[in-house]
Each structure stands twice: as structure tokens, then as C-alpha cells.
Structure 1
Amino acid sequence: MSTVRDRPAKRLPDARPVRRSARPAPGSPRTPGRAWPYLLVAPTVLGMLYLLVYPLARAVLISFQDFRLRQLIRGDAEFVGLRNYRTLLTDARFWEVVRRTFLFMAINVVLIMVLATLVALVIERLGRVGRTAVLSALVLAWAMPVLAATTVFQWLFHSEFGIVNWTLTSLGFESFDRYPWFAHGPAAFTILVVLIVWQSVPFAAVTLYSALTTVPTELYESARLDGASAPRIFRSVTFPTIRPIFMLVFSLEVIWTFKAFVQIWVMTNGGPGDATTILPVYAVQTALSSQRYDLGSAASMVTVALMAAVLVLYFRQMFRQEGEAL
């Protein structure tokens, strides 16, 4: 008899369940891959906090301290509460500077917005070549550095070598021979207004022109068919459509004009007398000339508060006209 040998049984594969990588619980820390975008943004955020938030917080702190040259060197400043603000708010010169600042801002902003709107409307009606030429000129004027433009205006109105005096004298106005523009308060104030308007109109005009290109042409055609005039079309069609951009440009111009410093400091240093001194110039004069860094910081904080109040009042008025609540 032949013996049958038992073959060993084949082992079946182990049917253990395959473990899948479990997703992290909602409360678990993020994986390195998900945290990578935040790590990339972190240097920019930290730099912004250091360059913007820290100086603002430091200025607020100094405004509540007795901080002069001695405290700047030794670092032993004492808190004095609201004493610096009381000193500032009871100074008659400070309130004269506040009045001049609002006058300066109002004149500049009105001129900038009116001229920029007119320039934008003209660009919209030009042909391709004319539009390109005007936009190029606006961009070049806007790209000029503030310090360079201020220096050019200084030479234009120079009492001996300025082309303005030479032109007026050549036209027969002999009283403008060597006329000292920057020695007279109203003349210096007017020159600064012209400079800031010239520097600000290009940005506002290009932005408003971009907004005008979004107005549907069907609305213009319907208004013309109804017999509406050009001013009526602007009031009822154009302006309501570009109102958000107009509000943005207006608020930016308020901010830029309110804090105008470089042009005034380079051209007149706030003079003659206080004819061109506005709040930012007053703050620097107080901090550097009198070495009262505490009063200068307090003036800066009051400037920020006044500027914010102006913008809030403007936005409340605009939203009220649109039937919204702020």
C-alpha cells in the first residue's frame, strides 16, 4: 500500500484590518504642511507690527509721561496722566493751528476732488491717442518724488532766479521783480496748496476714470433718450454709480492732506511765522525745537483723533444718504 503523505496546509494571509491614517481631530495641532502658509506670512506681519503698531503705542505712552531731553537720555520718565493734553488744549496757539489745519485740508480736498473729477470726465471723452497721452502725463506727475517736486516749486518761486517772477516781470508786472513769495504768509500758503493739489490730482483722476469705465453705456443711452442734460446725467447716473470709489478717494485725500508734512517742512518750515503751520508741523516743532517730546506726542495723538472724527462724520453722512445705518 502506498502511503499518502499529508501535505502541509497553506497558510491563508492574515486578514488584519488595514489601518488608515486618521485625520487630526479638530482640536489637535495643525500639521507642518498646513502651518507653512502662516510661517511664510509671519515675517511680514511681525515687521508690520514692529514698524506701525510699536511706534503708535510708544507715542501714546510718551504722551502720558514727562518726557524731555533728560528722560530721553536717562530713561526715567514719569507718568503725569492727562497733564500734557491739558497743557495742549489750553494753548491758544494750538487751536489756531487746528483752525488752519482744517482750512488747509478743506481747500485742498475740494480742489483735488473737483479737478480730478473734471479730468476723469475729459479723459473718458478723449480718443485712444489722447487718452494714452493724458494718462501717461498723469502717471509721470504722480510718480515724481515728493521731495523733488517740492524742490522744483521752490526754484519756480525763487525771488531772484525763479521763472514765475521773471515771467510776471516780462509781462509788465514790475511789482513782482524779486518778489519774496515765501516771506508772505498768504503767498506761501497758496504755493503749498498749488503744490499739494498738483501732486494729488493725478492719483484721484486716474482712480475716478477707472470707476467711470464701469458705468454701463445703456444707462447713458436711456438718459439721453429721456432728454437729460449732461449735468443731470452726471448727478443721476454717473455719480451714484461711482459713489463708492469717490468715497474711497475722498477719504484718502483727507488723510494725505491732513498729514501733509514733507512739503511744508522743506519749503517753509511752517513759516513765515505760523502762516503754514498745521498739526503735523506743530507736533514736530514742539518736539524738536522745544525738546518737549511729550507735548509733541500728545499733538500727534490729537491729530489722529481729529482725522478719525472727520472721516467718521463723513461716512455717517454718506451712509445716511444711502439709507444705511453706520
Structure 2
Amino acid sequence: MSVQTDDAPPPVRSTPRTTPPGTRPYADDRPGGPKQTTGRLPYLLLLPALAATAVLLGWPLVMNGLLSFQNLNMTQLIQHVTDWAGTDNYRATLGSEDFWRVTLRSVLFTAVNVAVIMLFGTLTGLLLARLGPRMRLLLSSGLVLAWAMPVIAATTVYQWLFAQRFGVVNWVLDAVGIHSMAGFNWTGGQIPTFFVISLLIVWTSVPFVAINLYAATTTIPKELYEAAALDGASARQSFATVTLPFLRPFLLVMTFLEVIWIFKAFPHIFAINEGGPDRLTETLPVYAFVEGVGNQHYGTGAAISVLTIVILLGLMSYYLRAAMRQEEDEK
């Protein structure tokens, strides 16, 4: 027989918590523990953004798709006549050698520029992470100013820098002894024009990659670097085993965004030389504009723009699969 003393507290009996009939059990009583949010509120919060996306993006895409099946020029446009052409615009475009030549040029142009942007953007971002506060602020300010400059304003500056007669670049090259470049026409050939355009695109795109990469480096725990140093890892080994794994998802996303940005770049190319000389620097967006608006073949231009979207989706399929594979690995 047990004897209860005054010093020992009386036993406490736990009573099971019950819920009224017809109600759901408490969130922490169910398997999984955390409370799950249900209802229509999340969908209602997303509704304004989805409606704006449908109006601003969906409707123009639908109208552009309908226009690509029409034979529309200035005559039909003035008379408000709809002349359905079926798939004639797509057949004519896909059967044109110019279209495939421009497509190959666009892919190569995008690949080269994205590679250069990611290289210099990554190096600049890592440099920001190693600089002191004052130098980091100075470099970041310069990057933000370069990134925030309007495209047309930046294009005007580059046209002035690379002008044939009074350009700063030709003057500097002539001053250092390269006298053959005194009156060089940077927009008179395909390769020099692409060089100027690529320099402009890289200059306006590197700040975006660099600043975001620096922000990503601030999320890496310092304890990992200390542990690597205790294990005797060199700076290169520390970068390969600590920094790079953390930055790999970011680099994948940045590459994804830069491919889209460069492939659809229009004002940089058109403002420099309107796709010239002799249409040798046209990419798909410029080609669609020249064929549609310049030559007043609006249905053909719409078909080219639709094919441009399809080609871009095909190019991005690899990155989409890589991103989905990475999410599955994280789970």
C-alpha cells in the first residue's frame, strides 16, 4: 500500500482533449503537426495579378497569334478587311533561307553574350564580396548607375564613342599609335557592328548579375569557411566546396534570365544600325519588326514573332529541366 506524504505532490491525471461533434480536430492533433491553410483566400489574393497578366500579356499574345494567320498589309489595314491566309505565313517563313540564317545568328549571338555576361558578372560579384565597405559602396554605385541608364541613352553614348569621324575610341586608338583606326567605321561591317552591340549589352547586363550574386554570397554561413580553413582547404578549394555549391542555383536562374533578355533584345541592335549593314546584324526580334512594320507584311511579322517564342522555349527547355531536377534533389 502506498502512502502519500505531504511533501509529494498529488498525481496529475491528463484528460484527453475532445472536440465537439461535427468539428475537425485541432491542427496539432493531426499527423504532420503544422496547421494547414485552406480556403479561397490565397486564390483571391492571386486574382488581381492573374487578371493583370491575362490583360497585359495574354490578350496581346492571342491577337498576335490571330494576326499571324492573316494576310494583312497596309491596304487591308486601311479598309479594315480581314483576309485569312491560313498557314501561308508560317510556310513562307519556314521555307525562307533568311529566316534560318537569322535564327542561327540569334542563337550564336545569345550564346556568346550570355557567356561573357555571366563570366564578368560572376567575377564582379565575387569582387564586391571581398572589398571593404567604402570601395564596395563606390563600385556598387557605379554598377547601379550603369544598370539604371535607359537603353536608348546608353545606345546614344555608344554611338558617340564609336563614331567614325569624331568618336572617342578612334581618337584614343590613333593617339596610342594605331593610326589605321583614325577613321574606322565601326558600323560598316558585320563583325565590328556586333562588337559594339555586344559591348553595349554586356555593359548594361553585368551589373544585374554582379549585384545579385553579391547578395547571394551574403547568405553563405561564415562557419563553413572557418571549417574549411581548419581542414586545411586552400582558397580555391574553399571556393569549389563552399561558395560554388551555394551559388549554383543562383547562377542557373541568372543564366535563364539572361538568355531570355539577350535573345529578345531589340533596342540595342536596332538603335545602333537598324540591323545593318545590309541586314547582316538582324536577330529574330529585329527581323520580325523589319518584315512586319518596315515591309508592311504584318501577318508575316506576327508569324516570325510566334516562331521566335517557340524557339526561345525550345532553347530554355534544358534550363527548365535542370531547375526541376534541382528542386527534386532538394526535396
TM beyond 0.5: yes
Q: Distance in 1 between matches of 2:65 and 2:109?
A: 26
Q: Which amino acid aligns with 1:173?
A: I
Aligned-partner Cα distance in 2 for 1:94–1:230: 48
- 1:306 deviates by 1.2
User: 3-state DSSP class of the match of 1:165?
Assistant: helix
Partner of 1:171: 176
Counterpart secondary structure, 2:187: helix
Cα deviation, residue 230, structure 1: 2.7
Alignment-derived partner of residue 265 in structure 1? 270
Output aligned runs, 1:98-247, within 5 Å. Answer: 98-247=103-252
SS in 1 for 2:103: helix
**Match among 292, 297, 309 for residue 304 of structure 1:** 309
Work out which of the two has the higher radius of gyration on C-alpha atoms and give 1 or 2: 1
Q: Give 1:142's aligned amino acid.
A: W
Equivalence for 1:17: none
- 2:65 pairs with 1:82: no
Distance 1:188 1:218, change over 3 A: same
The letter of the residue matching 1:91 is: S
Query: Which amino acid in 2 is paired with 1:231?
Result: R
C-alpha root-mean-square deviation of aligned residues, in Å? 2.3
- Partners of 2:166 and 2:153 lie apart in 1 by 18
Query: Where does the alignment leave 5 or more consecutive residues of structure 1 unmatched?
Result: 1-33
Q: What's the offset of the Cα at 1:118? A: 0.4
Deviating more after overlay: 64-73 vs 188-197: 64-73
Q: Provide TM-score, normalisation by structure 1.
A: 0.83
Deviates more, 1:173-182 or 1:311-320: 311-320
Taking every aligned residue pair, what percent have the same amino acid on both sides? 44
1:117–1:208 CA contact under 8 A, matched in 2? yes
Does structure 2 retain, via aligned residues, the 8 Å contact 1:189–1:275? no
1: CA distance, partners of 2:237 / 2:300: 51
SS across alignment from 1:291? coil
Amino acid at match of 2:236: P
Paired with 1:258 and 1:273, the residues of 2 have a C-alpha distance of: 21
Instruction: Please name the residue that 2:253 is paired with.
Output: 248
Number of positions where the alignment pairs a residue of Structure 1 with one of Structure 2: 290
Map of 2:27 onto structure 1: none
Task: Find 1:275's aligned residue among 256, 277, 280.
Answer: 280
- CA 1:40 to 1:316, structure 2 compared with 1: closer, same or farther past 3 Å? closer
- TM-score in terms of structure 2 length: 0.82
State the Cα distance separating 1:224 from its structure 2 match: 2.3
CA distance in 1, matches of 2:258, 2:230: 36
C-alpha change, 1:316 and 1:41, in structure 2 (3 Å) is: closer
CA 60–204 in structure 1, closer or farther in 2 if over 3 Å, else same: same
Instruction: Return the offset for 1:263.
Output: 1.0
Letter in 1 for 2:161: L
Which residues of structure 2 form unaligned runs of 5+? 1-39
Report the AA paired with residue 57 of structure 1: V
